[in-house]
Amino acid sequence: MTATDTVDLSISGTVVDVTNGTLRETSVAIDDGEIVALGDRPADREIQTEYIAPGLIDAHMHVESSMVTASRYGNAVLERGVTSVVADPHEIANVCGVSGVRGMIEDASYTPLKMRFTAPSSVPASHLQDGGATVGVEDVRELLADERVIALGEVMNIPGLLAGDETVHAKIEAARESGLTVDGHAPRVAGDDLQAVARYLDNDHESVTAAEALEKLHAGMRVYIREGSCSKNLDELIALVDRDDVDSRRLSLCSDDRDVTELVELGSVDFAVERAIEHGVDPVEAVQMATINTAESYGLPFGRVQPGAPADLVCLSDLTSWDVDHVVVDGVPDPTEGIGEPPATTVETDTVSFEAVEPADLAIERLSGGPVRVQVIDSIGRIQTARMERELPIERLGGGPEVVTPDPAADVVALSVIERHGGDGSIGNGFVHGLGLDRGAVGMTVAHDAHNCLVAGTSFDAMARVANHLEAVGGGVATFDPDTETMETLELPVGGLMSDEPLASVNEQFRTVETAAREMGLDHEGGVHALTFLALEVIPERRLTNNGLVDVEAFEYTDVVLE
Amino acid sequence: MTATDTVDLSISGTVVDVTNGTLRETSVAIDDGEIVALGDRPADREIQTEYIAPGLIDAHMHVESSMVTASRYGNAVLERGVTSVVADPHEIANVCGVSGVRGMIEDASYTPLKMRFTAPSSVPASHLQDGGATVGVEDVRELLADERVIALGEVMNIPGLLAGDETVHAKIEAARESGLTVDGHAPRVAGDDLQAVARYLDNDHESVTAAEALEKLHAGMRVYIREGSCSKNLDELIALVDRDDVDSRRLSLCSDDRDVTELVELGSVDFAVERAIEHGVDPVEAVQMATINTAESYGLPFGRVQPGAPADLVCLSDLTSWDVDHVVVDGVPDPTEGIGEPPATTVETDTVSFEAVEPADLAIERLSGGPVRVQVIDSIGRIQTARMERELPIERLGGGPEVVTPDPAADVVALSVIERHGGDGSIGNGFVHGLGLDRGAVGMTVAHDAHNCLVAGTSFDAMARVANHLEAVGGGVATFDPDTETMETLELPVGGLMSDEPLASVNEQFRTVETAAREMGLDHEGGVHALTFLALEVIPERRLTNNGLVDVEAFEYTDVVLE
């Protein structure tokens, strides 16, 4: 190829040169999917734009949080200028194990977005709950051999890492042997413990304060600034960029989790770039944090505009407001235009299985007549919970036994977690404060990390209806309003976590369910999503599993009824 | 390992945190060769120092230019705080091929310095001269499989690269398949050609002006600033560091070649760091250019001070003047102290072989009586040559034939290149201007890149003596002064390029030879080293090979005698 040969595509504008950290007016010559020159070349097609940035890379995210399959996700965010994501298939692995991960990797091949994966390192999250699968050392090793798997997924078992747990270290060793990155997950780890984990973990996306992030940077870790749905840390952390003792090239932007509504309405990592610029960050630096910095973190060849790089580009009419004109992937402009339906997913779709439950199965029997003191999960923030004590009445359930009964007037409702992976069908029952529900029930098969079937409600009858309905449809999110006798459902048949319909349609259905829940009084700031964390037995202070209530600090089961 | 466990070594001082680009007072805890924490730990040994920097890395160098074996080289530069080099064994490969490279890699295992290698990409340099070996695509592939080989060595055949030469591209492809870096060598390549080569080459160390380097940076290449013996580019290029459109993290420092005298008297890449600081570069940035930047260029795990990194450190009493107190490699302080003699090298030592030459073999016969016009190589700079025409007399050689005769009074002396690799023993004869020699002869078996036996002199008799002597001793550098009948020799038996004696002793012997040459009138600014480039048939304008004079622009042979 010489300078007079005609190339496939030439794009002219101001290039965001993330390699050198500067803006420069030039043309980008693209042939056969690759950037072949910066400079004018005769071309079959020419695009004139204002700015030419590398396609954005989301440094850490979970596709499952969007509730759509990988191909649907990819097509949706591509239009925003996101051309790659580093996806940790942690959730589907908890349900379907390696086969779920492989299915998601295959799904991802049906979107032009370059989805790269990490091998989930922490499945199951703990021994206290029964999930659908485990991912062992050999599984990790097998996954790491796939060229689309570029890292060991976020290592969550920090106590195990510190104590020299063999399995944790064997997984890390497997990644090192393959020359791959090890993603970290070390919330609030500091001091001596941080120094110890920094030997093994290359990055962390869990910092919520600038001081926490700074300590991690100074221990040699890369810091990913997270702007997701559960955790929005950018406002707190963005000042790091301008510190003298920080090199912004050590920072990346990520979404971690992004629910379908925010994804549709606000965007993905493109939103974080825009927000960083709003905070006064130099636009080139902001783009670096979502392109080359992340590419270097994982040794990816794209995320830069230079000869030899894959032509993954975003044409923008405005850089600071991230107004996307065209997206180019491997030299193809707007590759999602007219894209057909993806083939059916190969991720399992029949993953929700338990014997039909009766209302009494979801209640705690109690023979003595008077009210009892119980430990209640207090849902105090987006994903945080606290221990709370409340006195609850004993009432006869229909014609059945006497049971501890929720007290919606005091904002205490019943909560059950039903093993749904075809295991023993065990059910853990308890109570939760802070949802605001004043009638009916809300349930879902998305319940981090074991993703059992979780139902909250003011009546055991409504709860049982919702649970049995979810089992029948193969999973999803559902509400039952006894006033109107209406069941609203977002079906998520793919692993009980995802839909294979387009993002916009899933968002619409989710809004319907969310609205129904709000009608029934749900007033938690996290909405329906808040419920999905009530079974997450690794985050303080109290969580409910299919085996019962967990005291997270003690990391053991604890009784609901206190006597 | 917990915070109360005793570690092997603790070093306290101000850490040069190249990862984040800052200085920070702390202790570095080292155990089992690894940095395990930044912070105080009980330790078996404690060192208090002023500054703790990562050990330096020379981004690109040729061991052979120092004229000592790899182990000797390593031990010598370690004391200066250089703990790693990226060595391109291009010269030994031209003499001994892959076995020479493997021998050098083995030699390197006997020094604590971490010598990493590139697979020579361009052996032979051309088809116009007969060297000792070729390194083909399969050879490159084999070498790249060695874990100490971290890149494809500098790709010199730029015309071949541009023209799609299959061998050049196959070698690059082999490196890419192994996920390895491709080193470039693109002097004065600019414009469209630069864009084309930037698709394939990751870095370049040949820029001599800031404009040339800037163009390469903006084409996405890393730029190595070279401060060696032949080429000293730092003064010209260092201003790049402070440009707004340059990120200094894309710059590295290298020596490329460093002759034994400058190595002993000035140092290696440590000298470049010191000189950069003298130029006003922030010391942390200067150290970055000789540590983490280079480590990132090749994916090396050292070159930084952070938990999890190998403990390769330099303790300094002063940072700006680079005053080294201690050097630590893999946690071992001052590892060369009391180090024994390295075992005998496995690089071939019997590589200089040709039939004894007679004076007449080195002369050009000419039957016609009068003076003739000849093309002369004008040695105009350290490594540059120009075409020159001169008239030379015809004289009878002893009782032998009439030959074209040098004219020392006009600074034109005879030059011969004798094939010395056991091939056909062919001899190319010609003339050179600009050495200043007024008597005797100077010869050497170091003659880039084919490393034949090159001899220059005012008399064919002296030249033949030097050549035959070099053959007898297995190679080296020698002078013969007819006034004193003295032969001075630096023997370089290892491939005819290197000595296995210590650096200081080799320097002493080299100084003796150099002094003898100066006594005989040699006044070229490059000294004896200038002669080693007179056979380098790939650099303009005229060079002499064993097959005759080469017109480098035309890339073909040309007659010495013009009619």
Of B62, B65, B125, which Cα lies nearest the Cα of B89? B62
Q: Which pLDDT does position B474 carry in this prediction?
A: 98
Task: Tell me whether A31 touches chain B (CB under 8 Å).
Answer: no
- Beta-bridge partner residues of A402: A396
- Beta-bridge partner residues of A14: A25, A51
Mutation for A interface: B15, B19, B302, B305, most A CBs within 10 A: B19
Task: Tell me whether B300 touches chain A (CB under 8 Å).
Answer: no
Q: Which pLDDT does position A204 carry in this prediction?
A: 98
Token duo for residue A304: 């830069």
Pairing of strands A486-491, A476-481: antiparallel
Residues 6+ away with beta carbon under 8 Å from B164: none
Distance to chain B for A284, nearest Cα, Å:
11
Tokens 């650099």 belong to which residue?
B539
Torsion of CA A359, A360, A363, A369, to 10 degrees: 130
Residues of chain B with Cβ-Cβ distance to A29 below 8 Å are: 195
Residues of chain A with Cβ-Cβ distance to B1 below 8 Å are: 196
CB pair distance less than 8 Å for B36 and A304: no
Q: Which pLDDT does position A369 carry in this prediction?
A: 74
CA distances to A63, B310, B311 from B35, in Å: 36, 6, 5
Distance to chain A for B182, nearest Cα, Å:
12
Size of interface A-B (CB pairs under 8 A): 118
Q: Which pLDDT does position B381 carry in this prediction?
A: 84
Task: Tell me whether A3 touches chain B (CB under 8 Å).
Answer: yes
Task: Tell me whether A246 touches chain B (CB under 8 Å).
Answer: yes
Q: Count Cβ neighbours within 10 Å for each residue of B477-516 and write b for 16 or more, e otherwise.
A: bbbbbbeeeebbbbbbbbbbbbbbbbbeebbebbeebbeb
- Beta-bridge partner residues of A404: A394
Task: Tell me whether A219 touches chain B (CB under 8 Å).
Answer: yes
Q: Tell me the mean pLDDT in the region A327-356.
A: 96
Task: Tell me whether B186 touches chain A (CB under 8 Å).
Answer: no
Chain B residue whose CA is closest to A219: B306
CB pair distance less than 8 Å for B306 and A198: yes
Q: Which pLDDT does position B367 carry in this prediction?
A: 81
Beta strands in A92-173 (DSSP E): 114-119, 149-155
Helix (H) / strand (E) containing A181 = strand A181-184
Chain B residue whose CA is closest to A249: B20
CB pair distance less than 8 Å for A22 and B217: no
Residues 6+ away with beta carbon under 8 Å from A3: A37, A39, A41, B191, B192, B195, B196
Q: Tell me the mean pLDDT in the region A7-19.
A: 98
Task: Tell me whether A25 touches chain B (CB under 8 Å).
Answer: no
pLDDT digits (tens, 9 = 90+) for A206-227: 999 999 999 999 999 999 999 9
Task: Tell me whether B196 touches chain A (CB under 8 Å).
Answer: yes
Of B69, B51, B143, which Cα lies nearest the Cα of B113? B69
Of B254, B241, B341, which Cα lies nearest the Cα of B282? B241
Q: Which pLDDT does position B529 carry in this prediction?
A: 94
pLDDT digits (tens, 9 = 90+) for A105-160: 999 999 999 999 999 999 999 999 999 999 999 999 999 999 999 999 999 999 99
CB pair distance less than 8 Å for B196 and A306: no
For residues A497 and A66, the answer to whether their CB atoms sit within 8 Å is no
ipTM summary value: 0.94
Please state the length of chain A: 563
Chain B residue whose CA is closest to A23: B245
Token duo for residue A452: 């059992």
Token duo for residue B500: 């296995």
CA distances to A334, B18, B272 from B81, in Å: 52, 16, 12
Task: Tell me whether A152 touches chain B (CB under 8 Å).
Answer: no
pLDDT digits (tens, 9 = 90+) for A436-456: 999 999 999 999 999 999 999
Task: For residues B135 and A349, give the distance between their C-alpha atoms in angstroms, rounded to a whole number.
Answer: 56
Q: Which pLDDT does position A563 carry in this prediction?
A: 77
CB pair distance less than 8 Å for B200 and A308: yes
DSSP track, A418-459: E--BSS---EEEEEEESS---SSEEEES--TTTT-EEEEES-
List the single residue in B20, B217, B299 with the smallest CB-CB distance to A217. B20
- Beta-bridge partner residues of A333: A328
Task: For residues A331 and A30, give the distance between their C-alpha atoms in angstroms, rounded to a whole number.
Answer: 6
Distance to chain B for A309, nearest Cα, Å:
7
**Three-class SS of residue A206?**
coil
Residues in chain B where the model's pLDDT stays below 70: none
Of A223, A152, A143, which Cα lies nearest the Cα of A181? A152
If you average pLDDT over every residue of chain A, what do you get? 97
CB pair distance less than 8 Å for A24 and B218: yes
Residues of chain A with Cβ-Cβ distance to B244 below 8 Å are: 22
Task: For residues B186 and B169, give the distance between their C-alpha atoms in angstroms, rounded to a whole number.
Answer: 16
Q: Which pLDDT does position A475 carry in this prediction?
A: 98
Residues of chain B with Cβ-Cβ distance to A192 below 8 Å are: 2-3, 37, 39
Task: Tell me whether A222 touches chain B (CB under 8 Å).
Answer: no
